[in-house]
A and B are shown apart, each in its own frame.
Chain A
Amino acid sequence: MVIASEAGPSKSGREKEGSPEEKDDRTFECNICLDTAKDAVVSMCGHLFCWPCLHQWLDTRPTRQVCPVCKAAISEDKVIPLYGRGSTKQEDPRNKVPPRPPGQRTEPENNGGFPGFGFGDGGFHMSFGIGAFPFGFVTSSFNFGDHHHQRPAHGAGRGMALLDEDPFVSKIFLWVAAIFIMWLFYA
């Protein structure tokens, strides 16, 4: 009901003058070619251009790079490309113009949950534990390659290796510990 009552007057209004739609279109016009912006970029001061248009503008005056609209200082690497839904399909025929500078994407702040392999979000100890996992795996697979297959949970890392019941492994660790203590005494 609400939709119907709203759609009625607005539609007839558009038919009468056609200006609201026109205005809408003009909002996305490039400030240089006055056409709907193609490969749109927006400057830090918020003004919309086609990338080829803005590039040529910056190219014609390398010493005085200002926004054509507000004369704020602008540069190629400080414009933001606008990616609309249908925009990536359009190929720019002007090969000569270098491509738009890419958008700068930063990862959102991740609060809580399993942080994956990222450092700095789950506390230092946590990250270290996870980080050490591949090394543990490597040492276990290189040094004790023959026992590898017998172990049920070989991927569980170093912590598991220490608890391994294999006498050979525990012997080696004992020897390593002994050598380490000896070295400590001598040093």
Chain B
Amino acid sequence: MADQNINPFSQEPTTKTTPERRQLSQSNHAVSRRLQKELMTLMMNAEKGVSAFPEGENLFKWIATIIGPDGTVYEGITFKLSLEFLNNYPYVPPIVKFTSPCFHPNVDLTGNICLDILKEKWSALYDVRTVLLSLQSLLAEPNNDSPLNQTAAELWPNQTEFKVHMEKFMADMRKQNS
């Protein structure tokens, strides 16, 4: 009963040799299918304050923007991010980075993000939209217990001082980049 669905002719040796490459292309195909679907839904129902689009022809690299949530120090600021999808997406999270300077307790100076759902709490159900929305809410509510940017974490309780520091930081980064 338990093995009624097992194909008695399943070729065990062949699975080790030839289909390696085929499987890779198949998974690539599955990933791009899923990414296309995500892009479709993102375009059909545009979310307020977040947007994302593939970078050029490559469907595995996207550029996204998040507008700083209202009522926070980031209000009105547009952040750019890069998303990189691996071949085994959505089983593993995409690599998400801020490409524009972001002074935030959970973002380091090079734009790396510390967010649980992008690491161990990742679920295959999450997509670009939910990741961007999570990041938007992370901007409003940082996790100051595990900071990547110690200074920002220490300054966070005092929002006016934080804002002053942030503006200086952003100006410095802009100078560096130009």
> C-beta contact mask, A91-109 vs B, less than 8 Å → 1, else 0?
0001110111110000000
Interface residues of B in 45-102 (CB under 8 A from A): 88, 90-92
Q: For the complex, is A37 an interface residue (Cβ under 8 Å from B)?
A: no
Question: B25 contacts which chain A residues (CB < 8 A)?
Answer: none
Q: Which residues of B contact A126 (CB under 8 A)?
A: none
A102 touches B124 (CB 8 A): no
* Interface contact B7-A68, CB-CB below 8 Å: no
- Per DSSP, are chain A's interface residues mostly helix, strand or loop, or mixed? loop
The stretch of B30-38, B105-113, B145-153, B165-173 that contacts the partner chain = B30-38
CB contacts (< 8 Å) of A98 on chain B: these are: 6
Task: Report if A71 contacts B (CB, 8 A).
Answer: yes
Contact call A68/B11, Cβ cutoff below 8 A: no
B164 at interface by CB-CB < 8 Å: no
Q: B15 touching A34 by the CB < 8 A rule?
A: no
Majority SS at the chain B contact face: loop
Tell whether A28 is near chain B: CB-to-CB under 8 Å: no
Supposing A60-B88, A60-B92, A69-B125 touch, asked if A33 and B30 sit within 8 A by C-beta, the answer is yes
Select which of B23, B26, B125 is within 8 A of A32 by beta carbon: B125
* A31 interface contact, C-beta 8 A: yes
Chain A: which residue is nearest B40 at the CB level?
A: A34
Q: Are A95 and B91 in contact (CB under 8 A)?
A: no
Q: Does A137 contact B (CB under 8 A)?
A: no
Q: Are A95 and B125 in contact (CB under 8 A)?
A: no
Given A34-B37, A57-B91; A95-B123 close (CB under 8 Å)? no
Whether the Cβ atoms of B7 and A99 lie closer than 8 Å is yes
Count chain A residues whose beta carbon lies closer than 8 angstroms to a beta carbon of B. Answer: 22
Q: Indicate which residue in A33, A57, A94, A102 contacts B34 across the interface (CB closer than 8 Å).
A: A33
Q: How far is the CA of A76 from the CA of B30 in the complex (A)?
A: 22
| CB closest residue in chain A, given B30 | A33
A32-B124, A53-B124, A68-B125 as given contacts; A60 in contact with B91, CB under 8 Å: yes
A56 within 8 A of B: yes
Known: A32-B90, A57-B124. 13 other contacts (CB 8 A): A31-B124, A32-B125, A33-B33, A34-B37, A53-B124, A56-B88, A60-B88, A68-B124, A69-B123, A94-B23, A95-B10, A96-B15, A102-B5
Interface residues of chain B, those whose CB is within 8 Å of chain A, are 1-7, 10-11, 14-15, 19, 23, 26, 30, 33-34, 37-38, 88, 90-92, 120, 123-125, 127
Q: List 15 A-B contacts (CB under 8 A).
A: A31-B124, A32-B125, A34-B38, A57-B91, A60-B88, A60-B92, A66-B123, A68-B123, A68-B124, A95-B7, A95-B14, A95-B15, A96-B23, A102-B2, A102-B3
Q: Rank and list the top 3 A-B pairs by shortest CB-CB distance, nearest first.
A: A99-B5, A68-B124, A68-B125
